[in-house]
Amino acid sequence: MASVTKVVLSRPVTFVTGNAKKLEEVRSILGHSLPLQSHKLDLPELQGEPEAISKEKARLAAEKIKGPVLVEDTCLCFNALKDLPGPYVKWFLDKLGNEGLNNMLMAYEDKSAYALCVFSFATDADTEPETFMGTTEGIIVPPRGPKDFGWDPVFQPDGYEQTFAEMPKEEKNKISHRYRSLAKVKSHLEANYEFDIPSETDANNDSAGNDVEKDTPKKRKREEDDEAAHEETKHKKEEK
């Protein structure tokens, strides 16, 4: 069997998010196997099917980042409502809260739902994004557990008595829609790409929305030059 020639990437993958909780969960699932940094971008809120939305976001993000990107879209789909609210769950949650999401099914006997996570990866703006989907089946229940991470309090996965919000993170990350999608992302990237990243690039940016530059000789030299220029300007002002 012929070996696969891997594509070499000279920059870490930028995960587009400003959500610290989401970044923490993604890092926990991926571990340190892939160089990942994060950056917050204001992308347009698109409409359509989840996969199409995710692919277009990846294209737009790659145009702005000028390098490999990973974007995510999460859906919560109620079977009784023919998969609504789906990709628009963020807006439903903002307006109605978790109580309102649960109340949407009050008139329906069928409380079943599924959580869907769609990740799209693009190496650049000219490359067709690759899409990876993961689902977890469950039911919608009155909110239980901490309310600091989206709609987790109203989603109880099949086979469990706890909502996502009530579950230990380690347990949730073994069965979640995000885990199942990211497992496909990880497998695909490890099989088809390798990273050759210059030392100036910090592949372990720990702050959502910020790019961190490593302390390198080049950086220190620039800081020394800036300080010297500042002192020279200061002395000139004092002489006037």
- Known binding positions: 17-22, 45, 57, 73-74, 149-152, 172, 177-178
175 backbone φψ class: left, alpha, beta (φ>0; ψ -120 to 50): alpha
Question: Among 77, 26, 17, which residue's Cα sits nearest to residue 183?
Answer: 26
Residue with structure tokens 């000219």? 126
Hey, CA dihedral for 162, 163, 166, 172, is it positive or negative? positive
Q: Which helix (H) or strand (E) holds 138?
A: strand 130-140
Residue numbering of the annotated binding site for ITP: 17-22, 57, 73-74, 149-152, 172, 177-178
Residue numbering of the annotated binding site for Mg(2+): 45, 73
Bridge partners, residue 74, by sequence: 117
- d(CA 160, CA 154) in angstroms, rounded, equals 13
Bridge partners, residue 113, by sequence: 78, 138
